[in-house]
Structure 1
Amino acid sequence: MTRHWHRLAGGLALGTGLALAAGGMAHAAPLLGHQAALELDAAGTAWLGTSTALVLLMTLPGLALFYGGMVRRKNVIATITQSVGVFAVVTLAWFLAGYSIAFGSANGLFGLSAEQIQPYFGSFDMLLLNNVTLQSANSLLPGIPEFLFISFQMTFAIITPALITGAFAERFKYSALLLFTLLWTLFIYAPICHWVWGGGFLGSAGVLDFAGGAVVHVNSGVAGLVCAVFLGRRKGYGTEPIVAHNPVLTLIGASLLLVGWIGFNAGSAGAANDLMAVALLNTILAAAAAALSWKLIEVIEKKKVSLIGMLSGIVAGLVGITPAAGFVDPKGAVIIGLVSGAGCYIFSVWIKKLLRYDDSLDAFGIHGAGGLIGALLTGLLATTTINSLSEGANIGTQAMGLAWTIVYSAIGTFIILILCKFTTGLRVSESQEAEGLDTHLHGEALEAP
């Protein structure tokens, strides 16, 4: 979902021509800089609609169950409700201004020209989705109705802050979560999305990110690490057992994530074509390879294979292949999976223990580390036999894009946390944390076993 869309644009515009009728064209609203007249690609539209549903499935119920099964019984409802709250806030934030900031074409602002602004910021032309019509398409995908493009991109925006919640599970105030999510979506996610996918300076510089290695995973992982360090550790962390309430829920959630990730990666091809096919296969291969490499290290260290460990390995592989899915061949996908599984284990277990930060559900250990590994290996393994845009791919350019993402996400997240601290507050009281968030924050609790 990066510069490869420009390659698709030409083919789709010449494809199945159910465009506007001549009379309709006469009454069509003027197109904005980022828009093109819709040249409907029926097959591509059907596939992207299916992919949108699959990606939405990743958050609700996929991630909600994945995280919900790993927390303690007293915090299950609170953890799942975080994903529900993120869904609601991000959906409206994307409608309000997120899409416009991420994918709009800049106009002159504050004495700066459009050319000076466009590398860093979209526009305010589509606030409340004004100027989006049934006849418009985003110029990245002229064969897809813009309303569908908006919906597909919205599902990516939803899951990104939802991933962050794993870093501060079991100790974050719900009012703070809602405010944090709103500010983070508009001021962190949307600008970085523009930099890479919306015509910004990172995409123009040749940074390859097929479906969100930097935009989604490194971005959320770094933000999660900042949140975990800023909040401090959970009560009893490191001194008493903190045991997953229900690994079976985590299995169900991980399975839904695996299926939904097909929409995430293969949907980012933007069409029902050969690129979609290889991205789909690469996604499954990387997940399987990472599960095995995670398992191998776990067996060597602990002499046992945990269910949650295997599931974490699957997710690690999915994260690792995300930036590379449409740029590498299947051999490259297996390599990325093997390295991601091992690398994410090291970050989630060894490095976390060494540095003693409490990344509750390994948002950084899996998404931050996996995104970094996958993005860097994209620069090494991308091949023109899969995607012509792989020409010139290199680790240096990838590292530059990651550096911008890390610095902006870390500093921006820190500022937002400070704003939340002095408005809603951030952390629940010690008594609430000890007794559990389900009852105190939501007035609900699971029936005692």
Structure 2
Amino acid sequence: MERNGILERLFKLSERNTTPKQEILAGLTTFMTVSYMVIVNPIIMSDAGIPREAALAATIYAIVFSTLLMALWANFPIATGPGMGLNAFFTYSVVLGQGLSWQTALGAVFISGVLFFVLTVTGIRGKIIDAIPNVLKSSIAVGIGLFVAFIGLKNAGLVVANESTFVGLGNVMDKGPLLAIFGLILAAVLMAKNVKGALIISIFATTILAMIVGVQAVPHSLKDVFSATPPSVGETFFQMDLKGAVAYGIFSVIFSFTIVELFDTLATLIGLSKKANLVDKNGKIPGLNRALAADSIGTMASAIFGSTALNTYIENATGIAEGGRTGLKALTVATLFIFTLFFAPLIQFIPSVATAPALIIIGSLMLSDIRNVNFDDFTEVVPAFLTIVMMPLTYSIAEGLAFGFISYTAIKLFTGRRREIHWMMYVITIAFFINFYMSSH
């Protein structure tokens, strides 16, 4: 009873109509779907010259630190960490593309984190969210859903690259896609029957089946699943080169990190908060400023550890679908990631075809907000459509936002409805134009 009393005071479980069991299950589900970052992020960061073992440790420490902030300070059911897209930008655009050292790039990440923090404590980030019209808020959630589903379909091998049509259908008779289809149907059936832990059951069942049919290797010894010595972060800790970043004059790099991380985080937080019913009757998200501050502090910490800017993981949607509503879910995720320091080898035995079905299911669940789009108002239909469709097609939440914001402002302005445009929308639109210009030069 006392333990539940402490959890109640910390996380307000009753107020958000949840239980410790529900939150822990949701955290475990989120961990399962986001654990791939422990493998993928170090590989991408090592392409920039960062030692892979240090990159692995930095990834885990950044996830744990930032997610604990979300859990214990902001009380949000959100796991954060080094972001996909941002890590590719770090490695392939900044380091390899512009020829900067990874230490200088880490300096740029840290400075962008400082900018995030300033925007947060001054209230500007909150004002930006308040300025976003409801049609775009709803479109953001739907677009993220399609993006999540697209990632799942890609990881499942059901959607593949095609030289003629850009994307095409994979070979559905291959073992990988068949396993993903099995997991998808199993998860859908279990969810239709309201089985708790449906997604996690699907992930485990598909992983075991993948091992049976030979798609996934089977652990043969303790060394395959456990390491007594956790990987060291020593080679990257505090190696960021702030002077180098400033001396290089990389305004465009810092601006790009800032604008992409800012709007990726805003978009994902809005979408996930709506799915978790954390939005009040006025359309505001209580406690959002703390969540945004935690994100900005986490980005600074990530640079210190030796990794890239943070994202709010869209895979949080899997845990929210399992009932996650409080920071206890995030605390569970952070705790499990601490153990990955010792069980890092085990992560490789969860194949992408096992987690892909969960992403596809969540993508379908996030389509419900489409009902909030006024299809009788063409000035809102087009921006909504562009926001939704450009996220998966450009493989970027921020790019989808850019098309949505710019089209909304332009169409409202040129149809004589400028009174419906918040002044902040002009600022955001100009910022996106600047980012497009800098990205093209």
Query: Given the two structures, how large is their TM-score scaled by the length of structure 1?
Result: 0.26
Larger RCO (CA under 8 A, 6+ residues apart): 2
Query: Given the two structures, how large is their TM-score scaled by the length of structure 2?
Result: 0.26
